[in-house]
Amino acid sequence: MARVLIVGAGLTGSLCAALLRRELPRPHLAHLEVWEKARGAGGRMATSRRGGASNADSTADLGAQYVTRGPDSARRHPSFYEDLLAHGILKPLTAVLEGMVVKEGAENFVTPQGTSSIVKHYLKESAGADIFYDRQVTHIYLRDGKWEVCVNTGSSDQFDVVILTMPVPQILQLQGDIVNLINKSQRQQLESVSYSSRYALGLFYEAGTQIDVPWAAQYISNNPCIRFISIDNKKRNIESPDIGPSVVVHTSVSFGTEYLECDKEKVQQLILDHLKEIMPQLPVPASIKCQRWRYSQVTKAFPGNPGQITLHAKPFLVCGGDGFTHSNFDGCIDSATSIVEVLKSSL
């Protein structure tokens, strides 16, 4: 009767939680916890919400913008898409996205309630799992056949199984016995995993504000800072006089890399200056959220794209996430399913 900890409440972590509940016999899974260092679920499928009860529905996707199902995805993972479509979490993307490269046979979907709703759906499907936020794991020790997992507040708990789904550089930053459990070859392979970096802005407006452009989103190719702009509620087909519109701006990777360690307020103003050049008639927002994505998308995955690597078999310690596959919905499905398969074989 294992106590299982999943570190990270992003897409891979939430999928693992849902799949473990669905596929493992109950006697094997007595207790399941998910620890997330942020204040909410989503990871890079983040949906930011403007504060205040009157603005409860004013949201903006600061990470992933939409989900693409290619022919291979439709063949390999049909049940995942069918489930999300049946629950109304995914809907076909019908809005105009200027400059989007349309791949043959691909379908694009949006999330009416924001991309974090996908993660929240899978956490709900984990029925009975305990979800804890503001818990940043710092150390992992092997104590009497169990994992002692410590967080930045100084507290700790013991588990029989630990599943790490955070970005690979954060796995390499962990201290304790885990440092010596990663062998030289594994460490070299983990260190080879790389990510792009970028910034995102969410601009929130009062209800009734008009943003008159003929598109819901557009890719920008001639600006050194900005790569993508979305009228986010319009992209998600949510336009109501009672809900303030929101605008999302994503920077280019080159800009994100150049300004990665700079003060966020200064970076925010730089982005706004460039945005004014592109959209001079854009109204002044009521509030702004600036998000630094240090680990935006995987540019080089773990060699062989295995989905997971097992660092220790008994007790079980495994790493997974898009760093072991690729940065999209299907990559996280591949990682989560491979983690659950290897865990099923070990219990």
Distance CA 94, CA 90 (A): 12
pTM of this structure? 0.95
What pLDDT is recorded for position 106? 93
Q: For residue 6, which of 181, 169, 147 has the smallest C-alpha distance? A: 147
- CB contact at 8 A, 151 and 55: no
Per-position DSSP letters for 168-200, written without gaps between them: HHHHHT-EETHHHHS-HHHHHHHHT-EE--EEE
Phi-psi bin for 95: left (phi > 0), alpha (psi -120 to 50), beta?
beta
pLDDT one digit per residue (tens) for the chain, 347 residues: 789 999 999 999 999 999 998 887 665 666 899 999 999 999 999 999 876 444 456 899 999 999 999 999 989 999 999 999 999 999 999 998 999 988 889 999 999 999 999 999 999 999 889 999 999 999 999 999 999 999 999 999 999 999 999 999 999 999 999 999 999 999 999 999 999 999 999 999 998 899 999 999 999 999 999 999 999 999 998 878 888 999 999 999 999 999 999 999 999 999 999 999 999 999 999 999 999 999 999 999 999 999 999 999 999 999 999 999 999 999 999 999 999 999 887 76
CB environment 76-104: b (16+ within 10 A), e (fewer):
ebeebbeebeeeebbeebebebeebeeee
Q: Is 119 exposed, middle or buried (0-12, 13-18, 19+ CB in 10 A)?
A: buried
